[in-house]
Structure formats: structure tokens, C-alpha cells
């Protein structure tokens, strides 16, 4: 693999990097009681933390073992200490370029977070799935913290594997036994034999056992919804066997089905047969809707796999002689992304769910352990490795190759944000519908006003304070920096809400320019507008900036953006620091819980916004400038104007909250926030002079038409003389 070539070529550089970082810490900081570090050894490198000349533990750099790219697109380097039993003894962040940590998060919070991993046993971490590990998320640093957590765990497991600590691979003995399938074992066996010698393993759960387990959660809702049936009734009787083992496969599947499976399996791939009786289905119905069997999970060491519908084949029965009938029988092929060894122990995790409300559920996991009987296994003893360093080099190279096949961290993050993604997606669809049918909406000014106020409140509370999906010019700088370096979608995908918003913004620029985001979806912009509306309600005087000055203040935000953009190519870290001209992080992400200068700056901008509506958006926002530049490519012009606009009428220009309408009447798309206020005037025949004139002409035509259609009065009688007009002398 090209990856391994790169690693092998960079070993000296990696060793120098580790040596440099070791100068920033003392041995006892990483391994308590240690008094000195040994020379760097191994590839990837590590050092021994020695106490009185004896090895007390080890220290390594996380990025030498696993990829650790943060949201900045740069590595997050941490030194990790580990004792000889595989317990983490120290973690220190030594270098990073994460803006949220550089500015905004107190160093004390990061130190407290890292110290939470001290004392954890790597062997325990290796047995947990990534979804099961709780992460103490630091507010405002979600992506960075998730990356740090993932890196600490994965690099520690890889290192322990490399040196054989905590029973994870390798081994400190001079020799290590190699287990493989014995090809000389052939034939078939009866059901009784397979079950008796452990070739087929099973676990029976009764209704009473499941109810008792849920009661042990101390959750009143879970205890209040027991499973139906008598306590001794079978809830599920679950069986499992690896049918890629020839004797087991031929016995359980039958010769024809086994041959079909053997043709399907590539070298090194395996399959298991899972079958069961009882009232609970191990398949569930999720795989029909979404393609994933969400109730079963196969785990071996640090590897884990969930099965998809394409990995599954439904079978009618188990073909072994004497086998009973089973309610469910499924053949599952393990995904090729899982490094699975059939001769090593593994387990099947069964997820049992219990509904405790209309949408709420409580979950428990029950394990079915499996170990292949020794009669199928051939055990060989290879030559001893020469040194511990040699063992570490070989094992760690293998570990790194395996790490490349591990599930991506962003997928784990997205799984936890499905509901939020759906809500955000629904809100974006609603906004799109409003924009496409705006000509209908704006004919009802009061409804338009209520819809806008409601959406702005949603943007501040849910998009901003809850989901923390506040876009920033830092996102723009990071994206362009990645394009000229080593671009990867992985770290852009690690913030689902931000990623979805950016995709929506990119599409909206073609239709509506910057206004869709800046006017409706920016939490800080929405906060400014809501506060200004309150200020107007309590009669705080509003300042209208003279047009000449207003027009000359516009370019400031473009100059700010261009300065940050240019600086980012020289030093992205410095550009991220200067991007603090945006108060977004202080006000929205950290909710004003920050050092007083940042809070004061954000507060001053909001106070100015009480007198000058959307002051920051108008003159200082570099993100607004960044969106306005590509927004010029929009291909549609949705905002309608009368020929009288700007000539005989200036009502819309005076009503525009950000003064985006020029005195001559045209709307500046770079500055328009698409509030639709001018469009409510455009259609209003009681406020817009051209519309008023049209209404009056229409009313006069209607009145004249009504008069002309009025019925004639009764004709005078012929005998009666017609009335004569009075003369001037009478």
C-alpha cells in the first residue's frame, strides 16, 4: 500500500517529532514515578519511561499510530503515557491548530477532559464499540473533542497491540502461537455433536430474565412495560456458528448451500449462521426500511461489524441431522472492512429494545460468546522475534494498515445527529418553499411578518444555541486551505449541521445570493434583528446612516475578508485568531461564557444594533462578504420593482432594514438580506404609491361601470307635463 511506503520513508522524521515533543514534558508527567526517557526506538517510534533504570511504562505520539485530523485540517498531536499493564497514565496535548481551542475554550477545560482518560485500561476500551463510549463533550468544541477522544482510544489500542500490552496481540514473550484453520478436518456432523462440542453456541433468555434485567436499570418507565408471557417462557433462544469453517458449514447449510457460499467468499472472508426461536426477532424490521440489522452486532477485539441486507440471505431451515425447526434462520457474510479471525474468540451482541412511550425506547444488550473448538484449529509456533523494538515495528505497521480500514469518525458523529439533521433539513425545505412562493406570501403582510419572526426565533434558539450551527469565515478559510494542501472531506463531514448548512448555502447562492443565509439562517444576524425589533417596540430611537457614509462603509467587510483570506495562506492559525472579529463564537457557540474582552466586544455590537439595524451585518461581517462575492453568480432575480421605484417613490428604500436599496431604486444583491419587506410594499395597494394609483383607477372604473349599468327610473306619464327648469328670474 502507498500508505505504508510513506510511513516507512518518514520514520526518522517521526522520531525527531517525538523527541521534540518529549522536551516539553517530564517523565513523571507521563508515567508517575519515572525519572528519565530512553532513546527513541521502534517504527512508529516510542520511548520507555524508566525508573531507576527499569521500564516503568511507555510514551508515544498519537499521530504516529493513527490519523488525527481536526476541523482545521491539521493534526492534533498528543503524547500518551502507558504503563506495562496497558493502563493510560498520562495524556498531554502538545500541538494543534484548532481555532475553538486556540481561542474560546479555557485551557483548564481541555486539561480536565484529557485527565479523564488517565487510569483507563486499554483492554477495556478495546472491548467497547465506539458507539458505546461516552464522550464528555465540551460546549463549543464538539468536533475537536470527538477527534481527540477517537485518537486517544484508537492510538492507545494500536500501541498496546504493537507491544503486546493488556493481552492485545503481539506479546512480550519470545514466541507467539499462530492459530489457523486445520484443512485436514473434513466431513459433516450431527446436530447433537455440533451442539455438544461447542461448534454451535446458543443462549436462551426467558421473559422473566429480560424483565428482571430491565428492572435493574432503575428506570420506572422501563419497569412499567414488562414483556408479555410467563416468566419461564422463552423470550429468545439464540444460536450462532461460523459456517465458513468447512465441517460446520456443510453440516448446517447442506452441501449445495455451502458450495454457493464458498463461491461467494473471497480468501480471508467469513460468514456466520444466526438462527433462533422465541417471541423476539433478532432481525427486527429495520433492515427492510434502511438496510441495516440494528439488533445484532458482531464484535471481535477492537473490530466490530453491523450487517446490511446485502450481507444477508434468508434460509428456511438448518440442515444438520437431528436439528429442530427454527423460526428465523439467517446467513450473514462479514463485511470485508472487518479484520476477522475465525480462530479467535468473538461475540454476538443482541440488542433488546423496549418501548416506553410513543417514540421513546430503552435498550439492553445481551452477549452470545463464541470460541471455535480446538479440533478445527492448527497451532504453529513461529521463530522468536529478535527484540521488543522489532516486534513493535512489525505489529505497529500492521496496526496502522488496519486503522485505515476502521470506520470513519464522521460516520459515528452523523449517527448521533440523525434527528437534528432531519429537523434542519425540514426547516431548509420550508424556507425554500417560502422563497419559491414568495409572491403569494407577501400579499399578506401580517402573515409574512409572523412567519419571519417565527423563523428568526427558530434560527436563534435551535440552529444557534442548540445545534450550534453558526457558520463562520473560518469555515471558508479552512476549505480553501484544504484545497491547496491535502484536501479531504472527512473533517468537513465531522460537523453534520455545519455541513448541511453549507450545502444549502451553496445552492441558495445560485437562486437568492447571500440573503437566504444572512437574512434567515444566521443565528447572530437573527439575534441582532430580534433585539432591534424589541428596541423599536420600546421606542429606542433609530439612526439612519446618511447614504454617502453608508455607501463608503460597505467595503469594510470586504477588506476584512480579503485580509483574512490572504493571511490564511501564510498562517491559517493567525487568520483563525483574527477571525475573532466575528462575535459568533462568543455569543452563539459559547453563549457569552468567555473572557470579558470577548463578551464586551460582542455586547457592544449588539448594543449598537439596537440603534442601527443589523450594524455588524452591514459593515463588518467577513462571512457576509465571502458569500456576497460568489452570490453575484445568481441566475434569478426574484425581487420585483416598479418603474416608479427610486424616481417618484422612495418608500421601499426607507423601509429596507439594511439600506440595500439605492436612491435610484435598484436593489444591491450583495447587501440585500432577503427579508421580503420591500415585496410586501410592492404588492400593497394601500402603502405603495404606484399600487395605490392602480387601485384608485380600478375603483373609479368599477364605480363608472356600476353607474352605467344602473337601471333607468319609471317613465313619466304622457298626461303629465314634463317638469320645466326654473329660469334665473324665478
pLDDT for the residue 402: 43
Residue 70 to residues 7, 67, 92, 228, 672, Cα–Cα distance (Å): 20, 10, 16, 49, 34
Q: Which of 693, 680, 689, 601 is nearest to 650 (CA)?
A: 689
> Radius of gyration of the chain from Cα atoms?
36
Residue range 706-728, pLDDT digits in tens: 777 666 555 555 554 544 444 43
Cell of 200: 454451535
More confident residue, 195 or 18: 195
- Give the separation between CA 616 and CA 612, rounded to whole angstroms: 9
- Give the separation between CA 330 and CA 252, rounded to whole angstroms: 12
Q: What's the chain's average pLDDT?
A: 81
Residue 338 to residues 341, 403, 432, Cα–Cα distance (Å): 9, 11, 42
Residue 320 bridge partners (DSSP): none
To the nearest whole percent, how much of the chain has pLDDT over 90? 33
More confident residue, 408 or 673: 673
| Dihedral sign (CA 487, 493, 497, 501) | positive
CB 64 within 8 A of CB 45: yes
CB 705 within 8 A of CB 666: no
Residue range 516-564, pLDDT digits in tens: 999 999 999 999 999 999 999 999 999 999 999 998 998 999 999 999 9
Q: Find the Cα–Cα–Cα–Cα dihedral 204, 210, 212, 215, rounded to 10°.
A: 160
Domain boundaries, the chain: 2-167, 178-378, 414-640
What is the arithmetic mean of pLDDT over 313-336? 92
Q: Which of 9, 37, 2 is nearest to 23 (CA)?
A: 37
| Predicted structure pTM score | 0.54
- Give the separation between CA 229 and CA 222, rounded to whole angstroms: 16
Residue range 209-264, pLDDT digits in tens: 998 888 887 778 878 888 888 999 999 999 999 999 999 999 999 999 999 999 98
- Give the separation between CA 625 and CA 630, rounded to whole angstroms: 9
- The 3-state secondary structure of 374-397 reads HHHEEEECCCCCCCHHHHHHHHHH
pLDDT for the residue 98: 64
User: What are the E-state strand segments in 280-376?
Assistant: 296-300, 303-305, 312-314, 328-333, 346-355, 361-370
Residue range 581-620, pLDDT digits in tens: 999 988 988 888 778 888 999 999 999 999 999 999 999 9
Weakest-pLDDT range from 145-154, 421-430, 434-443: 145-154
To the nearest whole percent, how much of the chain has pLDDT over 70? 81
Amino acid at each position: 500500500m502507498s500508505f505504508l511506503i510513506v510511513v516507512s520513508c518518514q520514520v526518522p522524521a517521526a522520531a525527531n517529532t517525538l523527541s521534540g515533543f518529549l522536551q516539553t514534558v517530564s517523565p513523571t508527567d507521563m508515567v508517575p514515578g519515572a525519572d528519565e526517557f530512553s532513546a527513541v526506538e521502534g517504527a512508529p517510534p516510542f520511548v520507555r519511561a524508566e525508573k531507576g533504570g527499569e521500564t516503568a511504562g511507555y510514551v508515544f505520539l498519537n499521530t504516529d499510530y493513527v490519523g488525527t485530523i481536526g476541523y482545521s485540517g491539521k493534526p492534533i498531536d498528543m503524547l500518551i503515557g502507558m504503563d506495562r499493564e496497558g493502563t493510560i497514565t498520562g495524556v498531554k496535548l502538545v500541538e494543534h491548530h484548532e481555532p475553538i481551542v486556540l481561542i474560546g475554550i479555557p485551557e483548564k477545560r481541555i486539561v480536565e477532559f484529557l485527565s479523564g482518560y488517565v487510569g483507563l485500561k486499554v483492554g477495556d476500551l478495546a472491548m467497547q464499540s465506539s458507539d458505546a463510549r461516552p464522550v464528555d463533550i465540551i460546549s463549543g468544541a464538539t468536533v475537536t473533542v470527538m477527534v481527540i477522544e477517537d485518537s486517544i482510544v484508537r492510538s492507545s489500542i494500536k500501541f498496546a497491540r504493537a507491544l503486546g500490552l493488556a493481552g492485545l496481540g503481539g506479546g512480550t514473550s519470545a514466541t507467539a502461537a499462530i492459530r489457523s484453520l486445520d484443512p485436514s478436518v473434513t466431513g459433516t456432523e450431527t446436530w447433537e455433536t455440533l451442539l455438544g462440542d461447542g461448534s454451535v453456541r446458543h443462549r436462551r433468555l426467558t421473559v422473566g430474565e429480560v424483565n428482571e434485567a430491565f428492572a435493574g436499570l432503575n428506570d420506572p418507565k422501563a419497569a412499567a412495560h414488562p414483556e408479555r408471557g410467563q416468566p419461564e417462557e422463552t423470550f429468545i433462544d439464540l444460536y450462532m456458528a461460523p459456517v465458513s469453517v468447512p465441517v460446520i458449514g456443510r453440516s448446517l447449510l447442506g452441501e449445495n448451500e455451502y458450495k454457493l457460499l464458498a463461491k461467494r467468499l473471497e480468501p480471508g472472508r467469513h460468514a456466520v449462521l444466526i438462527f433462533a426461536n422465541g417471541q423476539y426477532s433478532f432481525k427486527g424490521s429495520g433492515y427492510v426500511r434502511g438496510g441495516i440489522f440494528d439488533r445484532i452486532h458482531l464484535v471481535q477485539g477492537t473490530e466490530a461489524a453491523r450487517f446490511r441486507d446485502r450481507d444477508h440471505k434468508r434460509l428456511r431451515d438448518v440442515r444438520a441431522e437431528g436439528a429442530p425447526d427454527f423460526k428465523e434462520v439467517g446467513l450473514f457474510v462479514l463485511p470485508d472492512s472487518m479484520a476477522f479471525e475465525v480462530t479467535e474468540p468473538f461475540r454476538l451482541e443482541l440488542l433488546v429494545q423496549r418501548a416506553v412511550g410513543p417514540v421513546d425506547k430503552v435498550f439492553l444488550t445481551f452477549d452470545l460468546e463464541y470460541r471455535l473448538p480446538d479440533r478445527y484449529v492448527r497451532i504453529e509456533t513461529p521463530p522468536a522475534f529478535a527484540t521488543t523494538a522489532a516486534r513493535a515495528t512489525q505489529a505497529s505497521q500492521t496496526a496502522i494498515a488496519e486503522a485505515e480500514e476502521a470506520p470513519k469518525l464522521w460516520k459515528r458523529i452523523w449517527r448521533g445527529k440523525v434527528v437534528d439533521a432531519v429537523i434542519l433539513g425540514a426547516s431548509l425545505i420550508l424556507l425554500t418553499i417560502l422563497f419559491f412562493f414568495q409572491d403569494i406570501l407577501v400579499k399578506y403582510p401580517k402573515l409574512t411578518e409572523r412567519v419571519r419572526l417565527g423563523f428568526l426565533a427558530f434560527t436563534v434558539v435551535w440552529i444557534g444555541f442548540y445545534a450550534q450551527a453558526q457558520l463562520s469565515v473560518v469555515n471558508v478559510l479552512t476549505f480553501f486551505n484544504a484545497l491547496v494542501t491535502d484536501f479531504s472531506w472527512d473533517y468537513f463531514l465531522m460537523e453534520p449541521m455545519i455541513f448541511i448548512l453549507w450545502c444549502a448555502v451553496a445552492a441558495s447562492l445560485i437562486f437568492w445570493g447571500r440573503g437566504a443565509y444572512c437574512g434567515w439562517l444566521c443565528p447572530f444576524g437573527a439575534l441582532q434583528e430580534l433585539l432591534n425589533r424589541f428596541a423599536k417596540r420600546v421606542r429606542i430611537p433609530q439612526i439612519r446612516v446618511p447614504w454617502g457614509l453608508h455607501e463608503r462603509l460597505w467595503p469594510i467587510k470586504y477588506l476584512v475578508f480579503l485580509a483574512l483570506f490572504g493571511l490564511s495562506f501564510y498562517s491559517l492559525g493567525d487568520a483563525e485568531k483574527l477571525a475573532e472579529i466575528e462575535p459568533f463564537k462568543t455569543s452563539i457557540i459559547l453563549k457569552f461564557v468567555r473572557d470579558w474582552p470577548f463578551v464586551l466586544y460582542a455586547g457592544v455590537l449588539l448594543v449598537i444594533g439596537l440603534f442601527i439595524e443589523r450594524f455588524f451585518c452591514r459593515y463588518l461581517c467577513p462571512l457576509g462578504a465571502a458569500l456576497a462575492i460568489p452570490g453575484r453568480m445568481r441566475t434569478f432575480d426574484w425581487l420585483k420593482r416598479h418603474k416608479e421605484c427610486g424616481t417618484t417613490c422612495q418608500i421601499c428604500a426607507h423601509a429596507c432594514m439594511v439600506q440595500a436599496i439605492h436612491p435610484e431604486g435598484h436593489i444591491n444583491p450583495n447587501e440585500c438580506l432577503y427579508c421580503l419587506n420591500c415585496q410586501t410594499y410592492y404588492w400593497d395597494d394601500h402603502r405603495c404609491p404606484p399600487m395605490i394609483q392602480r387601485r384608485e383607477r380600478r375603483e373609479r372604473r368599477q364605480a363608472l361601470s356600476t353607474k352605467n349599468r344602473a337601471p333607468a327610473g319609471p317613465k313619466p306619464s304622457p298626461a303629465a307635463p314634463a317638469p320645466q327648469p326654473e329660469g334665473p328670474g324665478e
